[in-house]
Amino acid sequence: MPANAAGPGSGGRDRHPSDRGLSAVIRYTEYGVPHIVAKDYANLGFGTGWAQAADQVCTLADGFVTVAGERSRHFGPGAAPDGSLSSATTNLSSDLYFRGVRDAGTVERLLRAPAPAGPSRDVEELMRGWAAGYNAWLRKNRITDPACARADWVRPVTALD
């Protein structure tokens, strides 16, 4: 398994987030590209979740609202989603689709399948760590992006999300 995701980076700043037994080193290049150094896949996921939340928390949170089928609740049923996760033309049609996927247990069924149809143990650990890193960033930082600062739709996630 790799010790780091994309090399050590150079010329930037380092972050050393840790929380609840997980940790990583995030080395940002001079252009702001994060490179994650970790001892295993759970810690690699943790560092990746932290770095992605730090860089794009509003975009990620919006995506979680979409796949939870909750766009209408937060943004109105007639408003148009951004189109990045489906071709739905309204939040209501997006919600109907994603709630159908959730209610059918599609993701859970796929996750129960043995690899390679389902995730390997490494991928499971990576996703568990990613959710932990994203959630740790939410707990330890204040969102300053006006697109989602103090928004009730920004919430902790699970590896299933």
Crossing angle for the helix pair 91-103 and 41-67, to the nearest 10 degrees:
130
| 137-143: average pLDDT | 97
pLDDT given at position 12: 65
Percentage of the chain with pLDDT > 90? 89
Instruction: Check whether 7 has a pLDDT greater than 70.
Output: no
Instruction: Check whether 10 has a pLDDT greater than 90.
Output: no
Q: What separation, in Å, do the N-terminal and C-terminal C-alpha atoms of the chain show? A: 25
Kindly report whether the peptide bond that precedes residue 116 is cis, defined as omega within 30 degrees of 0. yes
- Per residue in 19-67, pLDDT (tens digit) is 999 999 999 998 999 999 999 999 999 999 999 999 999 999 999 999 9
Domains, the chain, ordered by start = 14-140 (1.10.439.10)
Phi/psi of residue 23, nearest 5 degrees: -160, 160
pLDDT given at position 6: 42
Contact, 69 vs 95, CB < 8 A?
Answer: yes
**pLDDT tier at 152 (50, 70, 90 boundaries)?**
very high
Beta-ladder partners of 131: none
Q: Name the residue among 79, 107, 106 with its Cα closest to residue 91.
A: 79
pTM: 0.89
Q: What's the Cα-to-Cα distance from 77 to each of 67, 84, 109, rounded to whole Å?
A: 15, 17, 29
